[in-house]
Structures are given as structure tokens and as C-alpha cells.
């Protein structure tokens, strides 16, 4: 978090501290403002309680925290002032202004209280199945993920988007982390045509949820893959992340498709 002090506060300030749960000194940098007045930038890291107590900066639990800037002048006098939110819209960026913590899932947002003061709203993590990565190979695709604020359910499934048909998936667990091979043979063999499949770990949809990227398909483009199955079949698969963040796979049994074309 950054705050900017100008004018008399800067001239009188020798030390700047933020107060939330406790006082903490902020990193300071003095520069000249456009109006030739001194501008002091103070920075402090705010951390959620799920991260633990290690590291610098106040630890904020779930709830709403009002923020105060405390300055100490050369004469030892202490002054306190509330923070206001800079509501001027900035230029468009490829990332969102707020996103859940990539490890803990906790969301910290800067909000404006009714009286105009700034506060930090801390929202605890929701149960999620987070996609870590997927590894496409010539003979299959392996998916890696982890659970956030949830217990390992021991089961997973590929679910056809058209009608909800489920194909079981067998994940291997290591604590809250898991991996599984896509059951491409069963997915492609479930019916003729090309279909989109989503994935669920227990009751949780699998996806890239803990991210600040606005346009996930554009940021993480993936090509179609040809996969040679163990029984001799050939499947065209497209593992990808949708605009909503869900992990999905489009697949087509090329052997069956060629047979249909030849018979027709």
C-alpha cells in the first residue's frame, strides 16, 4: 500500500507510520511535486493472517480495517490523519486492481467508508480447486493442481458440458496437491463429435481462479494437440483456460471421425 503526503505534513514529518492492527514504519521517498511542493511517498506491505506472522508489515485478519497515517516531526510532535481513496480512474491495464492471494486465496481490497476514509476489507479464502499447470505430451495430458481452503475429496471427474455426462478421473494426492492424467480415451469415446469437457475435484470446479489477469485466453493461449492413445487411437485435444477461469478440454476422436467420413 502507498500513501502520498504533501505540503506542511512533509516538512514536519521525520517518521511516517501506518496504524491498522499495530503501528508499522513505512518506506519513505521524498520528491518534488508538480507544484514545487515536497511530496513524500510512504509504502507498507499489508499481509493476511493466513500467510503467518513472518515478514514485515501488519497482519490483518478477516474484516474491515481503517487506516491511519501517523507522522512524527523533528520536534517530536505526533500527528495522525486518516487516509482517503484515490478514486481517479487509471488507464486500462491487463490486470485487475484486486485479486485473491495466489497462495492463501485471501482477498484484500481497498474500500471507501461512508465518511470518505479508506479501509482495507479482508475476505477469507473460499474453497477452490486451483489449476497449477498442465503438461501436454504425445501420449497424453497430465494436470497438476492444488486445493485452497478445502480437504482432499479423493475423487474427481471430467464432465461433458453438453449434458453433464461424467467420466471418472483418478487423482494422485500429495497433501493438498494433486495430479491426474486426462482420460482422453473415455472422453473421446463417450460419443461422436467434438465436445467440451470441464473438470471437478469433489464438488469444486477446476480452474485458474487466484489470478489478476483480465483476459485469460489471450494471456495463456494453447494450441490443439494430437494425442496417440495406448490402444492405437488418435485424439485431437485442446486443453485451455476459459474467460471465466475454468479449465476445459475440447477433444475429438479422429479415428471415429475418419470412419464416419469414409462410410458416408
Q: Does the pLDDT at position 74 exceed 70?
A: yes
Q: Which of 70-84, 126-140, 143-157 comes out lowest in average pLDDT?
A: 70-84
| CA 253 and chain centroid, separation | 34
Dig out the grid coordinates for 43 from the structure: 509504502
Q: Does the pLDDT at position 17 exceed 80?
A: no
Percentage of the chain modeled with pLDDT above 70: 79
The pLDDT confidence band at residue 20, using thresholds 50, 70 and 90, is: very low
The pLDDT confidence band at residue 58, using thresholds 50, 70 and 90, is: confident
Phi, psi (degrees; rounded to nearest 5) at 115: -80, 0
Classify 136 as helix, strand or coil. Answer: strand
In contact, 212 and 107? CB cutoff 8 Å: no
Q: Is the pTM of this model over 0.85?
A: no
Residue-wise burial string across 19-52, b where 16 or more C-beta atoms lie within 10 A, e elsewhere: ebeeebebeeeeeeeeeeebbbebebebbbebee
Compute the mean pLDDT over every residue in the chain, rounded to the nearest whole number.
Answer: 82
Q: What is the mean pLDDT of residues 165-186?
A: 95
Q: Does the pLDDT at position 7 exceed 60?
A: no
Q: Does the pLDDT at position 22 exceed 90?
A: no
Percentage of the chain modeled with pLDDT above 90: 46
The pLDDT confidence band at residue 53, using thresholds 50, 70 and 90, is: low
Amino acid at each position: 500500500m502507498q500513501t502520498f503526503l504533501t505540503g506542511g505534513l512533509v516538512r514536519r514529518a521525520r517518521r511516517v507510520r501506518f496504524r491498522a492492527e499495530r503501528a508499522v514504519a513505512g518506506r519513505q521517498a521524498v520528491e518534488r511535486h508538480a507544484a514545487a511542493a515536497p511530496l513524500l511517498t510512504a509504502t507498507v506491505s499489508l499481509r493476511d493472517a493466513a500467510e503467518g506472522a513472518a515478514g514485515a508489515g501488519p497482519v490483518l485478519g478477516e474484516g474491515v480495517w481503517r487506516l491511519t497515517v501517523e507522522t512524527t516531526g523533528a520536534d517530536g510532535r505526533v500527528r495522525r490523519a486518516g487516509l482517503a481513496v484515490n478514486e481517479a480512474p487509471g488507464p486500462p491495464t491487463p490486470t485487475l486492481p484486486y485479486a485473491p492471494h495466489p497462495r492463501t486465496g485471501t482477498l484484500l481490497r481497498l474500500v471507501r467508508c461512508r465518511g470518505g476514509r479508506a479501509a482495507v476489507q479482508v475476505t477469507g479464502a473460499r474453497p477452490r480447486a486451483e489449476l497449477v499447470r498442465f503438461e501436454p505430451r504425445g501420449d497424453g495430458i497430465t494436470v497438476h493442481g492444488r486445493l485452497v481452503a478445502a480437504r482432499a475429496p479423493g475423487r474427481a471427474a471430467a464432465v461433458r458440458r453438453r449434458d453433464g455426462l461424467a467420466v471418472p478421473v483418478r487423482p494422485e494426492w500429495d497433501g493438498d496437491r494433486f495430479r491426474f492424467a486426462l482420460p482422453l480415451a473415455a472422453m473421446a469415446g463417450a460419443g461422436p463429435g467434438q465436445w467440451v469437457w470441464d473438470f471437478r475435484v469433489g464438488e469444486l470446479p477446476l480452474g485458474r481462479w487466484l489470478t489478476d489477469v483480465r483476459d485469460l485466453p489471450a494471456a495463456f493461449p494453447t494450441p490443439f494437440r494430437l494425442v496417440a492413445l495406448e490402444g492405437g487411437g488418435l485424439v485431437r485435444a485442446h486443453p485451455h483456460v476459459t474467460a471465466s477461469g475454468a479449465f476445459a478440454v475440447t477433444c475429438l476422436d479422429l479415428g471415429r471421425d475418419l470412419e464416419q467420413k469414409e462410410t458416408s
